[in-house]
A and B are shown apart, each in its own frame.
Chain A
Amino acid sequence: MKYPKYPVFASENPFIYEFFSEGPRGKIRKAVFYTKIGSNLYNLGFGDWNEELQDVDDSNRTNNGDRDQVLATVAATAITFTNHFPDAEIFVQGSTPARTRLYQMGIGYNLLEINEHFHVRGFTDDDWEAFQHGRNYSALLINRK
């Protein structure tokens, strides 16, 4: 991808990653994880680490001025994850329609490069279709080519 990526820390299993966003609002710990929800199906979880809750939280916008670098880093973890599980289907849905739209914008801006590695489908009103930049989707499904 054309955007730089943050260095990533991974747990000893390929499902868990974290990195630190750096910007005007300081250093923010980001969690990325893949949760098995079917035989080859994984949900992509992503959010900020909330020290107070001791849990991941995606209810706030971070506004750290590095959206594209953050999304590029998350996308890079998907490449790493699917190196381990090449048949995995990754389900992506934001906590709100606006957040799902943010993810699809990130994909849209990097579509050429993402298409080198992944098939991306989006769910419209009643069906899945091949991802098209500018369309609005309520969920995304990604798998390796």
Chain B
Amino acid sequence: MSTRIHNKGILSITIDPNIPDFNKSAFALKKAERARAFIAKHGLPKDAKPSKKGK
């Protein structure tokens, strides 16, 4: 079953529980590792929002 919702007129989104969890894919893990390495090497902008505990 799917539910159509509207995101403030910006985007039409249909919820589909059958979409694979792309975050568990090898592709996602590789990309995340690459991003972490980049940030570890170069850091974040000084004005990046500070981390908040619990998020």
Contacts and interface: CB of A to CB of B under 8 A. Distances in A.
A126 B23 CA distance: 30
A136 to B, nearest CB: 15
Interface residues on A, range: 35 or more
A143 B50 CA distance: 12
B14 A10 contact: yes
B48 A89 contact: yes
A114 to B, nearest CB: 12
B12 A91 contact: no
A15 B23 contact: yes
Contacts of A58: 27
B47 to A, nearest CB: 8
Nearest to A139: B38
Contacts of A41: 39, 44
B27 A9 contact: no
Contact of A80 (B13, B31, B39): B13
A105 interface: no
Given A12-B17, A39-B53, A123-B42, A45 B31 contact: yes
Contact of A16 (B23, B45, B46): B23
A38 B8 CA distance: 28
